[in-house]
Amino acid sequence: MYGRNPAAFLSAEHEALRESVARLARERIAPRAAEVDAKAEYPHDVFAALKEHGIIGMTIPSRLGGSDASLFELCLAIEELAKVCTTAALMPVMTNIVGQMLLAGGTPEQQERYLKPLAQGEIRFSNAVTEPEAGSDASAMTTRAEARGDRYVINGSKCFITGAGLSDFYIVFAKVAMDGERRGITAFIVPRETPGVATGRIEKKMGIRGMPTGELFFTDCEVPAGAMLGAVGGGLKLMLASMTRNRPAIGARGVGLAQGAFDVALDYCKNRRAFGGTLFDLQAVQFKLADMAMEIEAARALVHRGATVLDQGHDPRGLIGLLSSGKCFATDVAMRVSTEAVQLLGGYGYSADFPVERLMRDAKHLQIVDGSNEIQRVLIARALAD
């Protein structure tokens, strides 16, 4: 199977990449994963390790400081990271989606200013979209940006922002009003240290505890007109297009998490003695493991297909059903497989002595983030209707 013998299905170049990231994950990230979760502290050393190995901005073009890596290659790297630490796997995902936004909507000056340090891990970005009354329904946001001469003044609040208080820059989405007319959702690049920007409560979360998630407040926050990313009223389109292109990366986190939980469960069942043999000798256990393995393989194939067709240059607008299917199925599989892994380990699965309880908590995050799986099903159904 691919998860047990990946070299059989990868080119020599891709297998070298996968093994390099797998070694990094085993040696430098896995030993820290439980502590990061227990302390709920951002692991700067893990970010530094990913930066050192060129993983943070690998999909950004080389002319702008990246590695020209394909989305498929990013998915391979993310999967290996997610096997041991879902927080670590989030770091290059964040860079990828912001990089997509800057490449799609940024001016040459903005790309030159931000993408090179972003790709090299010198600065960090977060998207500031969600509000208390505007989550899946982003169009309901109430944050406003008022044009005043050659500047915009932003007022409003955001919640559940990944990297709140940590990132150096936020891409803030706000509704613009000009001459009394509302022009729609627009994106702005706002430095964290801008007067009027404040970090609120950092959430105490069930999973992904190493990455801060919290509130942001904007009070008469002034930014120059040059801080606008894309056109007035073009923010929602820019955000949705970038999220669509990023869905294989989210799916890869689900595949990796599921594979990591499965590997622990399989090893445990092969070695745990019970009823005169091992747990693996029991047919009921074999059937559980077989179902888990099949779902992981199916999820991986779906995610890889989405990444591959995007790499081939196909228009994402015609792939929404496929890309949403990959994200939805892979993250649902992550939840099912990690839950079954806990069950197979019994009391040990419920204990923090084994990683499967942490992986199960992290898996729930994946079903919600970057468009909940209910929203993905809506998008899939719309694609079927076209």
3-state class of 55 per DSSP? Answer: coil
pLDDT exceeds cutoff 90 at 180: no
Query: For strand 277-278 and strand 273-274, is the pairing parallel, antiparallel, or unpaired?
Result: antiparallel
As beta bridge partners, residue 152 has 147, 223
What tokens were used for 123?
A: 């600065």
What value does the mean pLDDT take over residues 277-291? 97
Among 58-67, 135-144, 193-202, 239-248, whose mean pLDDT is lowest? 135-144
Q: Which of 76-114 are b and which e, b meaning 16 or more Cβ less than 10 Å from the residue's Cβ?
A: bbbbbbbbbbbbbbbbbbbbbbbbbbbbebbeeebbebb
Amino acid identity of residue 85, one-letter, is C
Model confidence at 280, pLDDT cuts 50, 70, 90, reads very high
The neighbour count for residue 290, using CB atoms within 10 Å, is 10
- Specify whether the CB–CB gap between 197 and 174 falls below 8 A: no
pTM: 0.94
What value does the mean pLDDT take over residues 15-27? 96
The neighbour count for residue 181, using CB atoms within 10 Å, is 7
Residue ranges of alpha helices (H) inside 40-70 are 44-52
Backbone phi and psi for residue 247, each to the nearest 5 degrees, phi listed first: -65, -35
Cα three-residue angle 110-243-132, rounded to 5 degrees: 95
pLDDT in tens, 300-317: 999 999 999 999 999 999
What tokens were used for 41?
A: 């502290």
- Specify whether the CB–CB gap between 186 and 153 falls below 8 A: no
pLDDT exceeds cutoff 60 at 247: yes
What value does the mean pLDDT take over residues 122-141? 92
Domains of the chain, each with CATH number or no CATH? 6-119 (1.10.540.10), 125-232 (2.40.110.10), 236-385 (1.20.140.10)
SS3 for 335-346 is HHHHHHHHHHHH
Instruction: Single out the residue of 383, 329, 313 nearest to residue 72, CA to CA.
Output: 313
